Amino acid sequence: MTHFRFHSLTILLSLLFASGLAFSGLAQEAAHDEHHDHPVTGKKIPSPGPEDVDKFIKVDKEAKKVFIPVTATYNDANYGMNFNGHFKGSAVYTVPMGWEITIHFKNASPVPHSAVVVEKYMTRKLQVGEPYFEGASTKDPLKGLVKDEKFTFVTDDVGEYAIACGFPSHSAGGHWIGLNITKEGDEASVKFKKLQ
């Protein structure tokens, strides 16, 4: 009987210890979410608004090609976790299916970032996974060590996608912008929400 009691106490203590560990894990995650660990969060310049769209897309309608410059940490919006000053889908590119997209990725901060095109719902995950379209990411997006790289892919499916940062937890923290591939249409465009 004594032995049994001792054993129950051990189990109880183990459970308490385990829940303590789980709690400290959550606390660490919360601290990470606030991004106190980012040393440089970008310049204090305004995010581009509707009047600036021409600087952030080049369209060749005849060739059905789009060129999109995408700078991570363009400014300090969202603790630097932005593309061209936008985050959480506040910029949305719209491109017809079958067109070719070239993304010119740049990282303006010493913090690792990357770009990978995934289905929009994937942005909520800790890791966004493989690019949806073949070739639609910077090299090794999980590590995000690329500073300047171009990649080209063909939009061979319709749907709501995101240009997301592949560095773990960044897209869940808002480091993504929208990319809609439409079935019809002969024009590509970008819309910027007005951010203060």
DSSP conformational letter for 137:
B
Examine residue 88 and tell whether it contacts Cu ion (CB under 5 A): no
CB of 17 to Cu ion, least distance (A): 35
Cα–Cα nearest to 86, from 60, 63, 53, 62:
53
Any residues with CB less than 8 A from the CB of 152 and at least 6 apart, and which? 100, 101, 102, 103, 135
Residues 17, 49: Cα–Cα separation, whole Å? 51
DSSP-H helix ranges across the chain? 2-33
Taking the least distance from each CB to Cu ion, the nearer of 88 and 96 is 88
Residues 141, 59: Cα–Cα separation, whole Å? 26
Burial category of 99 from C-beta neighbours within 10 Å (exposed 0-12, middle 13-18, buried 19 and up): buried
- Mark the segment that binds Cu ion (CB under 5 A) among 6-14, 115-123, 155-163, 169-177: 169-177
Site string for Cu ion, 126-165 (x = CB under 5 A): ---------------------------------------x
Taking the least distance from each CB to Cu ion, the nearer of 88 and 170 is 170
Taking the least distance from each CB to Cu ion, the nearer of 106 and 170 is 170
User: Which of 167, 177, 190, 192 contacts Cu ion by CB under 5 A?
Assistant: 167
Nearest residue by C-beta to Cu ion? 165
Q: Under the phi-then-psi rule, with left for phi > 0, alpha for psi from -120 to 50, and beta for the rest, what region is 125?
A: beta
Examine residue 175 and tell whether it contacts Cu ion (CB under 5 A): yes
DSSP conformational letter for 96:
E
- Mark the segment that binds Cu ion (CB under 5 A) among 19-27, 83-91, 110-118, 126-134: 110-118
Examine residue 170 and tell whether it contacts Cu ion (CB under 5 A): yes
Taking the least distance from each CB to Cu ion, the nearer of 123 and 188 is 123
Taking the least distance from each CB to Cu ion, the nearer of 85 and 96 is 85
User: Which of 113, 116, 131, 179 contacts Cu ion by CB under 5 A?
Assistant: 113
Strands 91-96 and 176-182: parallel
With contacts defined by CB under 5 A, how many residues of the chain interact with Cu ion? 5
Give the interface with Cu ion as residue ranges (CB under 5 A).
113, 165, 167, 170, 175
